[in-house]
Structure 1
Amino acid sequence: MAMGPIHSGGQRRRRTPMAEINVTPMVDVMLVLLIIFMVTAPLLVAGVPVDLPDSKAGALDQEQKPVQVSLDASGAIFIDEAPTSEAELATRLQQIAAASREEGGPRIFLRADRGLDYGRVMGVMGEINNAGLRKVALVSVAGPEG
């Protein structure tokens, strides 16, 4: 606690407590915190919410659903749950590639039964590659075998 001045007037008085608070250290700390927040705040902002006006233009397809190519245990081929024969696989994949506006085509998820022959799966991957589709992901089940 801060003490007031000593009055000298022949009498000996005790120091009286000051009723004022010294705010200078608090202001210093607040200025340092303000500078820290001013520097770090722009780094934390991912995006600014904006209320955009209406437009007659079509919406952009920003998150296109991936195409799933599946091979079941018997070796049958499915494109998005629709059965496809080996003869029409190349044609269907080329149609998918032509319909896409993205370079390398849409993302392809290749799902194959674990009991299938490796050559069978690689044959389907070759057809996907020949069609011009370059974004291929092999899907597996996460976690240990049970």
Structure 2
Amino acid sequence: MGMASRNLEGAVNSNINVTPMVDVMLVLLIIFMVITPMLNNKVNVELPKANAAVIMEDANKEDSVVVAVTRDGKVFLGGDQVTVDDMGAKISAKLENKTEKHVYLRGDARANYGKVMDAVDGIRSAGVSQLGLLTEKTEDQ
């Protein structure tokens, strides 16, 4: 009786195993899906709550001009800290090539009201036609 044997030295496996690559791609996709919404809000601000909040989708666009006032009174234009005196010129420079001059203000709920009003005055000095005050909608129970 003879024993059957296979010649394994000459056999080449030409199949590509894509399962590990797919696993890595899915993990990267999930990471990017979780992190992307956090990138829009460069400054952490606790927004005040409002009953009649209107959804402003343009505030989430990448090229939108967003001013944030933090709890300790610091003013940020995008992710860069600015003074109220310099803010008008910097906003004018950002809005120079835009047809619609919209600016969005994210004021912390615990911020000093005077600091928020100073930021509004600085925004208005740039010749802004529309100022949107961003809030969170209260949950009806």
With normalisation by structure 2, the TM-score equals 0.49
With normalisation by structure 1, the TM-score equals 0.48
The structure with the larger Rg is 1
Using CA pairs below 8 Å that are at least 6 residues apart, which structure has the higher relative contact order?
2
